[in-house]
Chain A
């Protein structure tokens, strides 16, 4: 299945902004995070299709996974 992965802030360093990836059915968010060489403790916000999601969430074909380090502002 195809998913879109979007990376933000420091996660883009040495990686990419947006990438479409082929992943096997049943892939959960955590697997993508680990494949990208990101550590769980570095994660701030994980969103699937614009909604906050746990790392255990199973991705569906066409999903968009957004990963942010812990950031803030305001």
Chain B
């Protein structure tokens, strides 16, 4: 039977609770947002006594369903001030689900100045004082915990950035190779740091595993679903070969690759940092061009990137990171970007926020555009060591913009705008503007339809149909984020008719229920409205659903401008 594990850091007590009926149908993002909305005062300080950090595996995590191993983490965000859900691969979601942990809720703040770790088993949580690993990087924490407790344990950890409560700090999760996947966005590492928890370890020995109400029905649906993932050219071939970074050349060609802090839509060095070049470099150096971020992943869009000497440099090396330090900061050296990615993983900061921030810092004269070695130094020696400059940089793009008097600051609700220019890919601009999470491309990935020709086609340079497209995709995404599924299942789900029904059949077979497609859509709507209500309580209005003023400047090569009126954007919430 599923349980809620609750940890109170104020009085250092733990409890195992039954799942309230109102939470039973939720998982992943739906559950973290439900719990945050129910238990966290919207006007609280994100690093204060009343914020809570919630982890929840998805509805299908822990089952044999392909790509179902994503873990959701939620809280009020120190970066955006909004509700936040950030999900990641790694081994923790499957372990939580097998141990019957529907959610872990961490509340309160310790009264003393000590650091702690949490250890989870099927029976409950223990809180232990931690001294040895305080101040250590994420790689060292994962190695040390695996050494202490055995290779099989799961680890969720923060690096120095989280300890220092930087608003761009992330939470790292041990992956199947004992490397790192991250709950990247929104500064949730700072929330974990505020609660003085350095790491959470978990041991699922003796765990009951996940019960399936109708095993035969589940097996049939799981087979159809996995086949759709493998049959679709994006999830079956493109992603495993070139990784997400295949998008550099696509967006560059479409004039939507933000370059030099969103000044241009194309980057002269694009091919040097592209997925095609990255693939060839990985193969030449003996790395792995394909790799799963969690057990059960059959898409395998991740990879292992080696340095020139053939030593591990980084993995999970994603398009957004490469775009951000590459085109946006004008760095055309993939090895410099990979080394920066390694340090960001180790220090524990969001690679999207940090890359966007570096573009703003370059605009502000902190370092020249194109200075790859300078970026590595700032990450390692300033942010990593918490110098006064490092703490300013670790506060994220909006923070750095204010500090250095920069007006070209690409953020919405304080969160850095990712790798697609909203002027030349207008659908994603609607998602950035209206997402409950601050600028977030994953909230409603209109790139699929605007650029890639998946799920139909909408002209990226025109306004027609973009609000409706973003709305439909955000509703669907909120539901998918509740299943524990990787967001890339959306590619086959948009194009292959059997895919989405098979996903719903798996949920029904898992729980012995009979959800329809409409129920799933309604779930997505419910989650978005719940999250928005939290944000309204936190002081947000429709005026926060706007893009920065500088997007009225034309962006070459198409000289596109952001031309949605406020009223047109507000139509998004008309559902």
List A residues at the B interface (Cβ < 8 Å): 6, 8-10, 12, 17, 44-45, 47, 50-52, 66, 68-74
Bound Cα distance A9, B238 (Å) = 8
**Judging by beta carbons under 8 Å apart, are B319 and A73 in contact?**
yes
Partner of B238, one of A12, A50, A69: A69
Bound Cα distance A60, B369 (Å) = 36
* B244 on interface, CB distance cutoff 8 Å: yes
**Judging by beta carbons under 8 Å apart, are B451 and A45 in contact?**
yes
**Judging by beta carbons under 8 Å apart, are A44 and B275 in contact?**
no
Which of B247-255, B333-341, B389-397, B538-546 is found at the contact surface with chain A?
Answer: B247-255
Bound Cα distance A6, B276 (Å) = 13
Residue with the greatest number of chain A CB neighbours at <10 A, chosen from B233, B237, B244: B233
Q: Residue-by-residue, is B222-253 near A (CB-CB < 8 Å gives 1, otherwise 0)?
A: 00000000000111011101111111011001
Those of B536-575 within 8 Å (CB) of chain A = 557-558
Bound Cα distance A72, B318 (Å) = 12
* B5 on interface, CB distance cutoff 8 Å: no
Bound Cα distance A66, B318 (Å) = 23
Q: Which residues of B contact A71 (CB under 8 A)?
A: 233-234, 238-239, 242, 246-247, 250, 452
Which of B27-35, B132-140, B442-450 is found at the contact surface with chain A?
Answer: B442-450
Bound Cα distance A45, B247 (Å) = 12
**Judging by beta carbons under 8 Å apart, are A72 and B254 in contact?**
no
Bound Cα distance A68, B251 (Å) = 11
Q: Which residues of A contact B451 (CB under 8 A)?
A: 45
- With contacts A10-B241, A51-B461, A74-B442 taken as known, whether A68 is within 8 angstroms of B247 at the C-beta atoms is no
Q: Which residues of A contact B246 (CB under 8 A)?
A: 8-9, 71-73
**Judging by beta carbons under 8 Å apart, are B441 and A74 in contact?**
yes
Bound Cα distance A12, B558 (Å) = 26
Bound Cα distance A47, B247 (Å) = 14
**Judging by beta carbons under 8 Å apart, are A52 and B247 in contact?**
no
Bound Cα distance A71, B107 (Å) = 42
- With contacts A10-B237, A70-B238, A74-B247 taken as known, whether A45 is within 8 angstroms of B453 at the C-beta atoms is yes
Q: Which residues of A contact B301 (CB under 8 A)?
A: 73
Q: Which residues of B contact A52 (CB under 8 A)?
A: 254, 453, 457, 459-460
**Judging by beta carbons under 8 Å apart, are A70 and B244 in contact?**
no
Q: Which residues of A contact B464 (CB under 8 A)?
A: none
Residue with the greatest number of chain A CB neighbours at <10 A, chosen from B233, B245, B253, B254: B253
**Judging by beta carbons under 8 Å apart, are A68 and B250 in contact?**
yes
Bound Cα distance A71, B488 (Å) = 12
Interface size, B (range): 35 or more
Residue pairs across A and B with Cβ atoms less than 8 A apart, 15 shown, are A8-B249, A8-B253, A9-B238, A9-B242, A44-B453, A50-B558, A68-B253, A72-B235, A72-B238, A72-B239, A72-B247, A73-B247, A73-B301, A74-B319, A74-B488
Extra contacts, 20 of them, besides A74-B244, A74-B445 (Cβ < 8 A), are A8-B246, A9-B246, A10-B237, A44-B452, A47-B254, A50-B255, A51-B254, A68-B253, A69-B233, A71-B238, A71-B242, A72-B234, A72-B239, A72-B452, A73-B245, A73-B246, A73-B319, A74-B320, A74-B441, A74-B488
List B residues at the A interface (Cβ < 8 Å): 233-235, 237-239, 241-247, 249-250, 253-255, 271, 275-276, 301, 318-320, 441-442, 445, 447-448, 451-454, 457, 459-461, 487-488, 491, 557-558
Residue of B nearest to A18 (CB): B271
CB of B112, distance to nearest CB on chain A (Å): 43
**Judging by beta carbons under 8 Å apart, are A8 and B457 in contact?**
no
- With contacts A44-B233, A44-B453, A50-B254 taken as known, whether A72 is within 8 angstroms of B276 at the C-beta atoms is no
- With contacts A8-B249, A50-B253, A50-B255 taken as known, whether A70 is within 8 angstroms of B276 at the C-beta atoms is no
Residue of A nearest to B491 (CB): A72
Bound Cα distance A70, B448 (Å) = 10
Q: Which residues of A contact B241 (CB under 8 A)?
A: 9-10
**Judging by beta carbons under 8 Å apart, are A70 and B452 in contact?**
yes
Partner of B452, one of A6, A45, A66: A45
Bound Cα distance A66, B239 (Å) = 19
Q: Which residues of B contact A8 (CB under 8 A)?
A: 246, 249-250, 253, 276
CB of B255, distance to nearest CB on chain A (Å): 5
CB of A17, distance to nearest CB on chain B (Å): 7
**Judging by beta carbons under 8 Å apart, are B448 and A72 in contact?**
yes
5 closest residue pairs by CB, A with B: A73-B244, A72-B234, A71-B238, A70-B233, A73-B247
Residue of A nearest to B234 (CB): A72
Bound Cα distance A48, B245 (Å) = 22
Residue of B nearest to A8 (CB): B249
CB of B457, distance to nearest CB on chain A (Å): 7
Q: Which residues of A contact B491 (CB under 8 A)?
A: 72
